[in-house]
Amino acid sequence: MIYAQVVVDGIIVGLVFALVAMGLSLIYGVMNIVNFAHGEFMMIAMYLCFFMAVGLGLDPLASAPIVALAMFAFGVLVYRLVARHLLEASMIAQMFATFGMLLFFQALVNFLWKADTRSVPDNWSTGNFSVAGLFFNTPELVASLGALATAIVLFWFINRTETGLALQAAAEDPQVARLLGVNTDRMYALTWGLSAATVGVAGALLSTFLPVYPLVGTNWALPAFVAVAIGGFGSITGAFWGGIIVGLVQTVGGFATSPNYKLLFVYGLYLLIVLLRPHGLMGKR
């Protein structure tokens, strides 16, 4: 029975990893840029939720769409101000720029609001329940279901809409896409917007039960990076499954042996995949 709980918990946390990882993979897939500040985008979204909850009394689940829109605009802004200039830059310059944003946003938030571990007050989803001997924390369950729903919307948008297909074309071959009349600059802006919006939704969902503080994003970005690497850089489907695999492997592996070793399993798997399938499970070669 306890193993059923372990597996369920692995999937619950894996779905949130998946949502964070998908946004990360999206930018890489389209622009070949690794956004190291991805976790900080999530952190900013969590602060937005916190301030809306405390200032306006808005439940994080209600403010999630507002946060998604705000983060979309923020993503576009970051593209216009920073990322656009990195398109032709060397990989080192790209890494420095996005890593610089990571440090900048962390320090800025620490400066503006200190490092208080703030928590959203009790909200709609607060509570626990148990079904058939399995224990659930309602906000965590809501977060993972919300992550799943957002992932499905993102899949649909990218694979079923004209804009999504144009986005894929821009990712595949920007020059040809441009010849076919796709405005790649707008597609890139859209990519950053979408990436920030998805991680913004993740932040909103997590803020219902996690404390908000300057380092909170880093904690979630690291497993997301591994998820992206396992799933294959640039593959959104891969990132989704990668997230679930990371969640399952760390929870089950950690429980079966000792939690001290849980990251060993995650990074062991990562190493194995890098060695055997360098492009990841579903990445492009």
- By the criterion CB under 8 A, which residues form the site for another protein? 2, 5-6, 9-10, 13, 106-107, 110, 114-119, 122, 128, 130, 135-137, 140, 209-211, 213-216, 218-220, 222-223, 247, 250-255, 258-260, 262-263
Minimum CB distance to another protein smaller for 32 or for 110? 110
Give me the least distance between CB of 21 and another protein, in Å please: 12
Minimum CB distance to another protein smaller for 268 or for 278? 268
Tokens 């959104």 appear where?
236
Minimum CB distance to another protein smaller for 77 or for 222? 222
Minimum CB distance to another protein smaller for 116 or for 173? 116
Give me the least distance between CB of 209 and another protein, in Å please: 6
Minimum CB distance to another protein smaller for 10 or for 200? 10
Give me the least distance between CB of 6 and another protein, in Å please: 6
Minimum CB distance to another protein smaller for 14 or for 232? 14
Closest CA to 99 of 82, 117, 124: 82
Minimum CB distance to another protein smaller for 107 or for 272? 107
The residues, ordered by sequence, that sit 6+ positions from 20 with a Cβ below 8 Å of its Cβ are: 38, 39, 42, 199, 202, 220, 221, 223, 224, 227, 243
Give me the least distance between CB of 130 and another protein, in Å please: 7
Give me the least distance between CB of 179 and another protein, in Å please: 44
Cα 66 to Cα 46, 116, 201, 240: the distances in Å are: 12, 24, 9, 24
Give me the least distance between CB of 198 and another protein, in Å please: 17
